[in-house]
Amino acid sequence: MKKIFTIANREFRAIVGTKAFLISLSIMPILMFGGIIAMQLLQERGSIEEKNLVVIDHSKQLYEFLQSSAEANNAFVDGQAQKAEEEAKSASEANADTTADAKADSKDKAESTKPTSSPRRGPPTSSKGTRFVLQSINPDEANEAKMLELSDQVRSQKITGILEIPADVTSSGAVKLYSEDSGISTMNFWLTDRINDRVKKLRFESMGLDPVQVQQATQPVALRNLGLVQVKSDGTVQAAEEKDSMAGILLPLFVMMLMFMVIFMASQPMLESVLEEKSLRIAEVLLGSVNPWQLMWGKLLGCVAGSLTIVAFYVVGAYIFAVQKGYSDMIPLHLIPWFIVFQILGVMFYASIFLAVGASVSQLKEAQSMLLPAWILLMSPMFVWFMLVQEPNGSLAVGFSLFPPATPTTMVLRMATGSTVPTWQLLLGVVLLVAATSGCVWLAGRIFRVGILWQGKTPKLTELVRWAFTA
């Protein structure tokens, strides 16, 4: 055991004692979640974009309404930009505390002055950071030559798009938008929202219906998603609390991505360590003092210790962030022990595969193709994570959680949704993962003893199987 812990101590220091480790700790979250933060910052601080739209209104009922809506939207956008400029100017003259209060007050005022409209399920009426400039042309002039001319203007970016409104738009006609923007652009959302509002009102008027009464009659019934009633430690009954839909999606995704990052950051050094020792002939000296299984277990224990360091760093960072943002009550404390258990087993499972691959090749580029199946197995729950979140106790989720390569990430994903995962499934998942890990460690040790001395061409899969099962 002393030899194993000596090797583990050396591997742990090799993992956490480098500048690359510290840099990767900060870079990995940025790579995984930085896009979300970047989009929010760009939306808040982005410059005002102008959309020039040519409208061909065959119905002669929507253009004036769209023009007035565009003017109202542009006035709101310009007002928001002016307020943001005034806030930035005042922030440069005030101290940090005063600046924070000023931003909160100005944000409340901006929300109170924001144009309101009737409740809807679609996109909001105003488009933050986007101005719309509309111009109308006579529908009689909208022949093929004119449409080609306008399309060329779109291609040369003189205008943004062409909106063609049919004469029967209030019955069943479809509005056509010719542009190079995507189907989820701001312009698409804004036009869909405003056109539908206006057409609904015109339909109500033609049928002699009161829009207010129709809105009241068609008001959807809210469905409150609650947890379960529980019994407190003092015996009193605790009422069910309302669930946060976004937290039910983002929290499982965060936990699964954290598990993936830990396994990746802890397992990759194992491959590089074995390749280095093999190329420098260090492993041959080590095998003179320890057997392959002691060397394997020492490396794996050092790998686990390094992964626990990564988990501690991210968990503490996430907790501090949650406390600062007021989300500390959303942290599933009951999940942490199980997360650590499955994280340790997951790291050992994949690290043993990395060790076996590292022992069987001579260069890092040769290992990439051999590691691809392992990465596919590890990432398989990410391909269907949304389906797993929707039905955390469904047959698909249960099947993935009892499939050892996917067990670590799937189990913590299911538990993070707030659903009660049966204890027998958790224990069975642990047993299956321990058995699979033990098998991988045994196979890795068998491959290691032959592969560490292997030079030349990359061995085939059949040769690896022969190394593992021959005496």
Query: What is the pTM assigned to this prediction?
Result: 0.63
C-alpha distance from residue 368 to each of 166, 318, 356 (Å): 57, 32, 13
Q: What is the reported pLDDT for 457?
A: 67
What does the pLDDT read at residue 456?
Answer: 61
Q: Quick one: fold of 50-80+118-211?
A: D-Maltodextrin-Binding Protein; domain 2 (3.40.190)
Q: Please give the pLDDT value at position 116.
A: 40
Written as six digits, the tokens of 385 are: 């994570």
pLDDT for the residue 88: 62
Q: How far is Cα 410 from Cα 421, in angstroms, rounded to an integer?
A: 11
Strand order in the sheet with 49-57: 130-136, 49-57, 161-165, 176-179
Cα(216)–Cα(193) distance, rounded to whole angstroms?
Answer: 19
- Higher model confidence: residue 123 or residue 426? 426
Distance (Å, rounded) from C-alpha 271 to C-alpha 269? 5
Q: Which of 311, 254, 464 is nearest to 373 (CA)?
A: 464
Higher-pLDDT residue of 220 and 149 is 149
Least confident of 262-271, 360-369, 390-399: 360-369
**How far is Cα 335 from Cα 29, in angstroms, rounded to an integer?**
20
Of 282, 269, 447, give the one whose Cα is nearest residue 361. Answer: 447
Residue 103: band (very low, low, confident or very high) from pLDDT cuts 50, 70, 90: very low
Please tell me the total number of residues recorded for the chain in this structure.
Answer: 471
Select from 264, 404, 266, 423 the least CA-distant residue to 334: 423
Cα–Cα distances in Å, from 286 out to 48, 281, 296, 362, 445?
64, 9, 11, 18, 14
Give the model's pLDDT for residue 427. 92
pLDDT of residue 113: 41
pLDDT in tens, 287-322: 656 666 677 777 778 777 877 887 787 777 777 877
For the stretch 6-63, pLDDT in tens is 777 777 777 777 777 777 777 766 666 665 566 666 555 556 788 889 999 888 888 8
Helix, strand, coil % in the chain, rounded to nearest 5: 70, 5, 25
Q: What is the pLDDT of residue 432?
A: 92
Rounded to whole angstroms, the Cα distance separating 169 from 165 reads 7
Say if CB 328 and CB 247 are below 8 A apart: no
**9 half-sphere exposure, CB direction, 13 A CA radius:** 6
- The answer on pLDDT for 183 being more than 80 is no
pLDDT tens for residues 443-452? Answer: 777 777 776 6
Specify the DSSP class assigned to residue 201: H
In terms of average pLDDT, the best of 59-73, 216-230, 331-345, 457-471 is 59-73
**What is the 8-class DSSP label of residue 239?**
P
**Residues 278 and 358: beta-carbon distance below 8 Å:** yes
What's the CA gap between 230 and 227, in Å, rounded? 9
d(CA 41, CA 57): 37
Percent of the chain surpassing pLDDT 70: 77
- Please write the tens of the pLDDT for every residue from 186-210: 888 888 889 988 888 888 888 888 8
* Residues whose CB is less than 8 angstroms from the CB of residue 6 and which lie 6 or more positions away in sequence, other chains included: 298
**Domain residue spans of the chain:** 50-80+118-211, 248-469
The pLDDT assigned to 274 comes to 74
Amino acid identity, position 181: D
